[in-house]
Structures are given as C-alpha cells and as structure tokens.
Amino acid sequence: MSTHSVKGPSGISLGGLIRRPETGSLIGLIVVYVFFAALGGKVFMGAPGWSSWLNIAAEVGIIALPVGLLMISGEFDISVGSVVPASSMTTAMLSGHFELPALIGIMGGLSVGLLIGFLNGLIVTRTTIPSLIATIGTMFAVMGLTLGFAVLIKGSTSVSYVPDATTKALLGTFINGMFNVSIFWWLGFVAIFYYVLHISPLGSWIFALGGDKESARNAGIPTAKVTIGLFMASGFAAACVGVGQVMTYQTAQVAGGQAFIFNSIMCVVIGGVLLTGGAGSIIGIVLGTMTFAVVNQGIFFAALDPNIGSIIIGALLLAAVLSNDTFRTLALNYSPKKK
C-alpha cells in the first residue's frame, strides 16, 4: 500500500448514510408508514396490512426493477402495460384453451415478454425514435394484437385457466391465505438485479449508458446489446407478472395492466432514480416500491377517500424528486476530510 488511503467497504456512519442517495427514499417510506400506521391502527401494522401492501409491492416491484434499470440507462419502457395482459392471455390460451401442459403455457407467456422486449430494444437501438415513443407504439400494437387474437381464437376478452396444484403453489398461491407467493419471486428478482447493477461489471455499463451514451460507446461498451438486453429483461419481468396473475386469479383479461406503466415509473422515481438516467440504486427502487405500496393500500386501512390517496401519491412523487436532488447534490459535493 502506498501512503494515501483508499477506503475499503465503507462502514456505517451518519455522515455516510446522509450521502447515500437512498436516504431520501428511506425517510419517505418511514414517514408514510408512520402516517398510515397511525390512521390504520393495529390492522394495518399486523399481518393483514403487511400482506396487502406487500402483495401490491411484489407485483409492481418485479416490473419496477427492470424499468428502473432502463431508466438508469436513459430509456423508458411503457410497453410493460400491455405485456402483462399479453403474456397472461398467452399462458391462459395455451394451457387453458388448448389444454397444453402448464410449463408450455408459462414458457409461451414468458417468450411473449422477451420477444416484445427484443423488438423494443431493436427499435430503440436501430432507429432514432426515443424509447418513450417507441414503447408507447409497441404498447398499443401489443394491446391490439392481444384483443384481436383473444376474440379470434376464443371469441371473448377473457380466458380462464385452472392451474394444477404445483404450478398454483409456485406461482399464484396465498401463503397463510394472505401473502402472495409472488413476494418471494420479487425478492429473487431483487437479488438478481442487485447483482447485475451493483456487483457485476455490467452495472457500470448500465450507469455509463445513462450518463453519457457517446462516451460509453467510445469506451468500447456494446451499447446496443446492453440496451436490447435491458428491454428484454423488462419484457420478461412484465411477463412474469402476467403469468403470475393467471395462476393467482385463474383468468386472463385483455384489459388491465395499464396501471403498471405509471406505477412502475413512480416507484422507480420515488426510489431516487434520475429520470434522465445515470443514477439510481436497487435499494432505492425497492424502497420506492414499498412506499408506493404502503400509500396505495394504506388508504383503505385508514378509511380515507381514495381521491386523497391519489393526492398523497402525487405529492409524494414531487417531494421524492426534490429530496433526491438534494441528496444527490450532497453526494456530489462529498470529499474526504483532510488527513
């Protein structure tokens, strides 16, 4: 070692904690939770409360993770809103209507997600269409195709499917009658995405893409491949949620899923991801998702008017972006103490 000091894995200190970009999201979550716990009382703090908001968090959270990664890399994915119903419809159609084995239905549903993601990635990397517009386009196209095929094959906009016991247990059961198994899937996704963004070298590339795409390309990073890969990840994640919904509710609807578009972006932004790319973290996205879910469900427990809930979510979003900017400035100005 030379004379200068190089910090190892940083210890926990108050100063260090304040400079973490996630601090804003953590404070937001605590404030929101305390607020609804005070209004919602014991029920909200007990298992019913936890299960209800965790179930919501898991569904949105699985999609928010790749959407967050895409945002860090400077892209949006709106198409998740129609990938969810498209994949659940595919699964229900294959396994329910055509009575193929569950595995084939699931694979079919997931491939729909991967394929749409691949198309999004291809459009965004090969043309100059901004991802926001490109994925709005694919969202409408997929929505139309889903409706068209459903009516053509089944003659109805909903298809039912009763999964076998094992599939149901793995993908769509409620543990204790309350906690959806998807919560564990969400945790799995969190672990994988944490590895990708913060541990593997790929993470640096994703940040670099959002920071400065031109420089990233000059540094020899295969920018197109990374972008396409991220879009496929988000298609896949949305498809997982779609497949999970069939297994849980035993029916696939053509509509529904639109809520995921704004909700996933909101979770990500509340979680401190920079809308223009280049900054963000998995822990932040998870905290943002939890905050969103607590507000979303807390309203029912607190017996508040749902409109008030919308106001709270809106205000929260603005407050989150403001506080994230503040914490980011703190992080930028951070310099080690003179030794």
Partner 1 sequence: MSDNTPVIELRNVDKSFGPIDVLHEISLKVGAGEVLCLLGDNGAGKSTLIKTLAGVHAPTRGEILVDGEPVSFSGPRDAQERGIATVHQFGGTYPLMSIGRNFFMGVEPTKGFGPFKIFDRAKANKIAVEEVQKMGITRITDGDRLVGGLSGGERQSLAIARAVYFGARVLILDEPTAALGVKQAAHVLRIVNEAKKRGLAVIFITHQVMHAMAVGDHFAVLIRGAIAADFRKGEKSREEIADLMAGGESMADLEASIEGYMETHDGHPPKVGQEASA
Tokens of 155: 């003659």
CB of 10 to partner 1, least distance (A): 7
Task: Decide if residue 177 touches partner 1 (CB under 8 A).
Answer: no
Binding of partner 1 by 212 (CB under 8 A): yes
Distance separating alpha carbons of residues 22 and 188, to the nearest angstrom: 20
Least gap, CB of 18 to partner 1 (angstroms)? 15
Question: According to CB under 8 A, which residues from 291 to 330 bind partner 1?
Answer: 328
CA 89, CA 147: separation in Å to the nearest integer? 9
Q: Binding residues for partner 1, how many (CB under 8 A)?
A: 38
Residues from 190 through 209 that contact partner 1 (CB under 8 A): 199-201, 203-205, 207-208
CB atoms within 10 A of CB 254: 22
Q: CA–CA separation, 69 vs 200, rounded Å? A: 14
Site string for partner 1, 127-166 (x = CB under 8 A): ----------------------------------------
User: What is the contact mask toward partner 1 in residues 219 to 238, using x (rule: CB under 8 A)?
Assistant: xxx-----------------
- What b/e sequence results for 173-206 when a residue is b if at least 16 CB atoms lie within 10 Å of its CB, and e otherwise? beeeeebbbbbebbeebbeebbebbeeeebbebb
Contact 40, 302 (CB under 8 A): yes
Distance CA 39, CA 302 (A): 5
Rounded to 10 deg, the angle between the 47-72 and 202-211 helix axes is: 70
Residues 236-275 close enough to bind partner 1 by CB under 8 A = 274
User: Is 98 a residue that touches partner 1 (CB under 8 A)?
Assistant: no
Minimum CB separation of residue 287 from partner 1 in Å reads 19
CB of 157 to partner 1, least distance (A): 42
Contact of 267 with 292, CB cutoff 8 Å = yes
The residue (of 137 and 278) whose beta carbon lies closer to partner 1 is 278
Nearer to partner 1, 98 or 334 (CB): 334
Tokens of 232: 């496929």
27 is a site residue for partner 1 (CB under 8 A)? no
Is 5 one of the binding residues for partner 1 (CB under 8 A)?
yes
d(CA 186, CA 179): 12
Q: Which residue, 194, 195, 197, is CA-closest to 226? A: 197
Q: According to CB under 8 A, which one of 215, 259, 311, 315 is a site residue for partner 1?
A: 215
- Binding residues vs partner 1 (CB under 8 A): 1-2, 4-10, 199-201, 203-205, 207-208, 211-212, 214-221, 274, 278-279, 328, 331-336, 339
